Chains A and B, each alone.
Chain A
Amino acid sequence: MSSNRKDTLRLLAHFSTVGMTVAFSIFIGVGIGYYLDHKVFGGRTSPWLTLIFLGFGVAAAFKNLYDMANRKDL
Chain B
Amino acid sequence: MEHPILFISVILQSLGMPVPHGPVGDTLLAKLVSPHMTYTWLVMLFLIIVPKLTLGTMSLVPGKGQNFWEVIIGGLEGFMADNMGKEGARMMFPMLATFALYILVANMIGLMPGFMSPTSNLNITVACTLIVFFTTHILGVKFHGIGYVKHFLGPIPWLIPLMLPIELISHFARILSLSIRLFGNIMAKETLLGILFMLAGAYFAPLPILCLGVFVSIVQALVFLLLSILYFSAAMEHAH
Q: Which of B170, B222, B223 contacts A25 (CB 8 A)?
A: B170
Q: With a CB–CB cut-off of 8 A, which chain B residues contact A60?
A: 165-167, 169-170, 173
Count chain A CB atoms within 10 A of each CB in B83, B162, B166 and give the residue with the most: B166
Q: With a CB–CB cut-off of 8 A, which chain A residues contact B181?
A: 16-17, 20
A contacts with B: majority SS = helix
> A20-B180, A59-B162 known; A28 and B222 CB under 8 Å?
no
Q: Which of A9, A21, A64 contacts B222 (CB 8 A)?
A: A9
Q: Give complex CA distance A25, B172 in Å.
A: 8
B contacts with A: majority SS = helix
B82 within 8 A of A: yes
> A32-B169, A63-B166 known; A17 and B227 CB under 8 Å?
yes
Taking a contact as CB atoms under 8 Å apart, the answer to whether B173 and A28 are in contact is yes
A24 within 8 A of B: yes
Q: Which of B166, B172, B227 contacts A13 (CB 8 A)?
A: B227
The distance from the CB of B105 to the nearest CB of chain A, in whole angstroms, is 20
Q: Give complex CA distance A25, B177 in Å.
A: 9
Taking a contact as CB atoms under 8 Å apart, the answer to whether B223 and A29 are in contact is no
Q: With a CB–CB cut-off of 8 A, which chain A residues contact B165?
A: 53, 56, 60
The distance from the CB of B89 to the nearest CB of chain A, in whole angstroms, is 15
Q: Give complex CA distance A67, B162 in Å.
A: 16
Q: With a CB–CB cut-off of 8 A, which chain B residues contact A6?
A: 82
Question: How many interface residues does chain A have, given as a range?
Answer: 20 to 34
Taking a contact as CB atoms under 8 Å apart, the answer to whether B170 and A21 are in contact is yes
Taking a contact as CB atoms under 8 Å apart, the answer to whether B176 and A10 are in contact is no
> A10-B83, A63-B170, A64-B170 known; A21 and B177 CB under 8 Å?
yes
- Give me 6 other A-B pairs in contact (C-beta within 8 A), A59-B166, A60-B167, A63-B170 excluded: A10-B226, A14-B230, A20-B180, A25-B170, A29-B169, A32-B169
* Interchain residue pairs with CB less than 8 A apart (28): A9-B222, A13-B226, A14-B226, A16-B181, A20-B176, A20-B177, A20-B181, A21-B173, A21-B174, A21-B177, A24-B173, A24-B176, A24-B177, A24-B180, A25-B170, A25-B173, A28-B172, A32-B169, A56-B166, A56-B169, A59-B162, A59-B166, A60-B165, A60-B166, A60-B169, A60-B173, A63-B166, A63-B170
